[in-house]
Amino acid sequence: MLKKIKETTDFIKNKTNFVPEIGIILGSGLGGLSNEIKTEYHLPYETIPNFPISTVEGHKGQLILGTLGGKKVVAMHGRFHFYEGYSMEEITFPIRIMKMLGINMLILSNASGGINPDFEVGDIMFITDHINLMPNPLIGKNEDVFGPRFPDMSDAYDRKIIRKATKIARHFNIKYQTGVYAAATGPTFETPAEYKYIRIIGADAVGMSTVPEVIVAKHMGLTCFAVSVISDLGIEGKIVEISHKEVLDAASYVEPKMTLIIKELILTL
């Protein structure tokens, strides 16, 4: 893995001569933030050595390097998922690349199913903690150059950044929630019994991404902030048949609010 990381990092550095401060991962239907970046370089994933390829609708599949809110950023317009058949190492490979390029903070977004009965479709949830129901991406040999064998996860999502985000949301009169995100493998949406189980164990929303990326980011000492758009509900009495297109549509509807919050947040960093 170290050889691949060096090869990919060197390729991007040689192509761009760009040192980002912040990494951004844009989830399903949430790619509009990329339009706000003053782009200096964009690299399709298929042109980057060792990079996986996005196969899911709503994930464009390119690395964008430029400026947002006065900060140099590198943004993934499209992420990779376990259900696509990728290994955990492949899913989280770009996080290690962004760290080697120079970032010290990672911002993540996703679309998820709300299971807190107080949630509604279209809510924005700032993630305060997570429950990992997927294979842990750190299983296997530990590379000490990246981080410790047993990384601490007691503060996976930076509390100071969350407070800043809530202040911004209130300032712009944007409804928000805070809560725990559970990560399941997918690609099936959950059954009513699974939704009930995930709620019982302490989650407010459930999705198919983000947590492996955060685990690897924290392993390397990165500060993390994550926001989830509630695109459907897994609440008893409110569960309806859902499609991926409906998830994308719901996320896209809320995306301008999420974009505004992240733009303003970056300005404060």
Give the 3-state DSSP-derived string for the chain, with helices as H, strands as E and coil as C: CHHHHHHHHHHHHHHHCCCCCEEEEECCCCHHHHHHCEEEEEEEHHHCCCCCCCCCCCCCCEEEEEEECCEEEEEEECCCCHHHCCCHHHHHHHHHHHHHHCCCEEEEEEEEEECCCCCCCCCEEEEEEEEECCCCCCCCCCCCCCCCCCCCCCCCCCHHHHHHHHHHHHHCCCCEEEEEEEECCCCCCCCHHHHHHHHHCCCCEEECCCHHHHHHHHHCCCEEEEEEEEEEECCCCCCCCCCHHHHHHHHHHHHHHHHHHHHHHHHHC
Q: Rounded mean pLDDT of 154-165?
A: 97
Considering the chain, what is the average pLDDT of its residues?
91
- The ranges assigned to domains in the chain are 2-268
pLDDT in tens, 25-77: 988 666 788 888 999 999 999 999 999 887 655 446 899 999 999 999 999 99
Q: pLDDT category, 125, cuts 50, 70, 90?
A: very high
Distance CA 248, CA 89 (A): 26
Q: What is the DSSP string of 71-112?
A: EEEEEEES---GGGT--HHHHHHHHHHHHHHT-SEEEEEEEE
- pLDDT score at 40: 95
- Determine which of 45-54, 84-93, 124-133 has the lowest per-residue pLDDT on average: 45-54
Distance CA 204, CA 255 (A): 20
Give the rounded percent of residues in the chain with a pLDDT score beyond 70. 91
- pLDDT score at 58: 47
- pLDDT score at 83: 93
**Per-residue pLDDT at 252 exceeds 70:** yes
Between 33 and 88, residue with greater pLDDT = 88
One CATH from 1.20.210.10, 3.20.20.80, 3.10.450.50, 3.40.50.1580 for 2-268: 3.40.50.1580
pLDDT in tens, 96-116: 999 999 999 999 999 899 999
pLDDT in tens, 169-221: 999 999 999 999 999 999 998 999 999 999 999 999 999 999 999 999 999 99
